[in-house]
Chain A
C-alpha cells in the first residue's frame, strides 16, 4: 500500500506539469495516495510510521478516518487532496466558460499542487516506514500497537473542525488563480470578478464555520477577514468600476494569508496547541510565500495601466464609503491580529527577547473593531449608492434607531450595564431592525406594484436578487453570532470537590453527586461522575462527565458533559480526583447564549447558499451576454 501511495505522489508530480486534463489526473493520483494512507490506518499497519504515531488498534473507525489529518504528514496530504478536488471542480465547471482564463487558472492551481505534493513527498512523507538497525542492516519494524490519536481530537466536534478549516484555506487558491489569470491575459473587464466572487464565497463559508472564537485561531481568522473585505469591496468594482487595484490586492492577500496560516500552524514557529513539533518544512513554506508575494506584486505592477478607476468617490455618506470604511476596519483587524501573532518573532529578532501577548490584547483590539463592523452591517446596506440625501437617511434610519433606543434603555434597566456587552446587544437589535426593514419594505413595494400576497412577494424579491438578500440573511446570522459573543461576558463558573451526596450550587442550578464510578472501553479507561441537575426546583435529569485515560497514548482528557438550552449552556467537567479520599473535582461553567453562536453560524451558512443561487436578474443578463461571449470565443478558437 505504501508503494502504491508513493507511486501516486510521484505520478501526481509528473502529471501536474501538463494542462487541463492533468488536473483531473492529479486529483485521481492524490486520491490514490489518500486511499492508500486510509487503508494503512484502517488495517492497523503500524509498520507505517505515520499510522504508528497517530492511531491504535481499538480506535473507533470514525476517529481512524480522522487520523488522516491528525499529524503533519497526513494533513499535508489531505491539504493537497482538497486542492486537487477544488482544481478538478474548477476545470469541470468551466468546461465551456472562461476559456481564455482557464489555461492560466490550471497552471496556478497545479503549481500550488506541485509545491504541496513535493513537500508531502520529499519532506514530510506519510508513507515512510519504521525500521531498526540491527546486525549492520536495516530491518523493518512492526510495532504491535500504535501511539494513539491525540486525545483532544477524540471528541465529535473536533473531528470536523480541521477539515472545515482546510476546505476554507485551500479553496482560496481558485479565486487567486482566476485573479492572476485575468492579470496575465489582460481580461480585466468585470467577468473575472464575478467568477472570483462566487469561488471566494465557498471557502469563505467553510472558514467561517471552521473558526472557533479563540485567540489561538488567529491563523484562520486572518484570511477570513481579508476575504470578507474582498467580498464587500468587489461590489464597488462591479457597480462603479472603482477599487480595481485594491480588489486584486485583497485576493492576493487572502491567498497569501491562507498559505501563511498553514505555515504558522505547521512549522511550529509560533507555539500554540495546534502547532506540531518543530519541523523543517518551515523553510519551504517561507520560500513559497516569498515567490507568491514577488510574483503577485510584479504582475500587478505590470498591469497597473489596465486597472484604472472609472469613477471617483462622490460623497462621504454613500454605499461606497460604507464599504470603504468596512474595508479599513477589516484591514485594521488583520493587522492587529497579525501583529499579535508575529510579535514574538519580531521581538526575538530585534531585541533578542521573546515577548508574547495574551488574550487582553486581542480582546481590547477585537471588541471595538467588532462593534464598528456590527454597526456597519446594519447601516451600510441602508445607504444609497453615490450620495445619500438627508431625506433618505431619515426615511431609512428612523425606525431602526427608534427600536435601538428603546431596546438599549430596556437592556440597561434589565441590568446589562457593562459597556461592551450592552453596546453589542443594542447594536445587534439595531442591525436586525435595519435588515428586517429592508425585507419588509421591498416586499411591500412588490406587493403594491405586482399585486402578490406578502409571502409570495418576499420570496420573489429574494430570488430576483439572491446576492443582495442572501447577503442580508448573512448579516442576520452575524447579528446572532454577536448576541452569542455578548453572552460570553456573563459566564459564571464554580467548582467543588465532591463525593456521593454532595451538593454544588451555581446561580439557579443545584448539582447533586449521585455517584462516582470507574470502567473501561477497548480504547480507554474512564472515571465517571453522575450528577443530577435541578434548576429552580425542577429536575433536569443527569449528566455524566468523564475523565478518560487512553490506553495507547497513556494521555488523559476530560470529557465534558453538556446541557444546552437557548438561554445558556451548562458545561460540567470532571477536572481531577483526589486519590486519597476518592473524591472528584467538579467544575461547572454556565455559558449564556452559546446556542446563538451555533444558530448564527447556521444562518450565515444558509445565507451564503442563497447568495450563490444565480438570481433571476443575473440569469437574464447572462442570456444577453452569452451571444457576445460566444462570438469572442469563435475569434479565439484554435
Chain B
C-alpha cells in the first residue's frame, strides 16, 4: 500500500514540478511593473518593461508620417510619449481616452511605447451630468 501511495505521489510531484517550473519561467519573462503617470514621474529612475496608465492628453497627439507622439496625463502630470510599436494604433486611441502603454521609460524622461491599449471613457456612465 505504501509503495502505491509513493508512486502516486511521485507522479503528481513530477506534474506539479513541470507546471511550476514553466510558470516561474513564464512569470519572469512577462512580469511587468505597472505605474500611474505620477508614480513613474516621481520615481525618476529609467526602467525597461513597464506599463503605465493614464489619460491621453486632449489635442496632444502629433503625427509625423508613421511616427506618433503624444502626452499621457494624470491630474497635472504629463508624460511625453513616442510610439515606436509596429501595430496600427487601436481605434479607441484618441484624446481623452484611458490608455495603458507598455514600453520603456528612458533616462531623459520620455516614454517609448511599444504597445498601446486604449478605452474610451463614456459620457453618461460615471456621473450623471449636472447643468447643461
Contact = CB atoms under 8 A, between A and B. Distances in A.
Interface of A: 49, 52-53, 71-72, 128, 130-134, 141, 147, 151, 271, 273, 276-277, 312-316, 321, 324-325, 328-329, 332, 336, 339-340, 344, 353-365, 367-369, 372, 495, 547, 553, 555-558, 575-576, 585, 587
Contacts, number: 125
Nearest to A133: B130
Given A141-B129, A555-B92, A364 B123 contact: no
A557 B118 CA distance: 12
Nearest to B36: A354
B128 A358 contact: no
* Most A-side CB within 10 Å, residue of B18, B125, B128: B125
Given A356-B51, A364-B25, A336 B19 contact: yes
Tell me the dominant secondary structure on chain A's binding face: mixed
B15 A336 contact: no
A367 B4 CA distance: 29
Contacts of B119: 273
Contact of B15 (A329, A354, A558): A329
Contact of B128 (A131, A332, A355, A369): A131
Given A316-B11, A556-B91, 4 more contacts: A277-B121, A315-B4, A325-B15, A339-B23
15 contacts: A53-B125, A151-B91, A273-B119, A316-B8, A336-B19, A353-B33, A354-B33, A355-B32, A356-B32, A357-B30, A357-B32, A364-B26, A365-B19, A547-B91, A555-B120
Contacts of B22: 364-365, 367-368
A344 B34 contact: yes
Contacts of A332: 15-16, 19
B128 A325 contact: no
Contacts of A354: 33-35
Contact of B130 (A132, A151, A344, A495): A132
A364 B29 contact: yes
A130 B30 contact: no
* Most A-side CB within 10 Å, residue of B29, B51, B91, B132: B91
Given A316-B8, A332-B19, A555 B128 contact: no
B123 A53 contact: yes
Contact of A369 (B12, B19, B31, B92): B19
Contacts of A314: 4
B64 to A, nearest CB: 11
B132 A356 contact: no
* Most A-side CB within 10 Å, residue of B5, B7, B124: B124
A325 B12 CA distance: 7
B126 to A, nearest CB: 6
A321 B11 CA distance: 10
A353 B47 CA distance: 14
B131 interface: yes
A368 B30 contact: no
B108 interface: no
B26 A328 contact: no
B89 interface: yes
B28 to A, nearest CB: 9
* Most B-side CB within 10 Å, residue of A131, A344, A361, A368: A361
Contacts of B130: 132-133
A132 B129 contact: yes
Contacts of B23: 336, 339, 361, 364-365
Interface string B99-132: 0100000000000000001011111111011111
Contacts of B25: 364
Contact of A130 (B31, B34, B128): B128
Contact of A277 (B7, B19, B125): B125
Contacts of B19: 329, 332, 336, 365, 368-369
B30 A358 contact: yes
B48 to A, nearest CB: 14
B30 A360 contact: yes
Contacts of A53: 122-125
A555 B91 CA distance: 7
A147 to B, nearest CB: 5
B120 A368 contact: no
Given A357-B31, A556-B91, A49 B15 contact: no
Given A355-B31, A361-B27, A132 B132 contact: yes
A133 B131 contact: yes
Contact of A355 (B4, B34, B123): B34
Contacts of B34: 344, 353-356
A360 B122 contact: no
A76 B89 CA distance: 32
A147 B15 contact: no
Contact of A357 (B27, B125, B131, B132): B27
Nearest to B5: A313
Contact of A328 (B12, B18, B128): B12
Contacts of A316: 4, 7-8, 11
Contacts of B131: 132-134
Nearest to B119: A273
A147 B128 contact: no
A444 B123 CA distance: 67
Contact of B4 (A147, A276, A313): A313
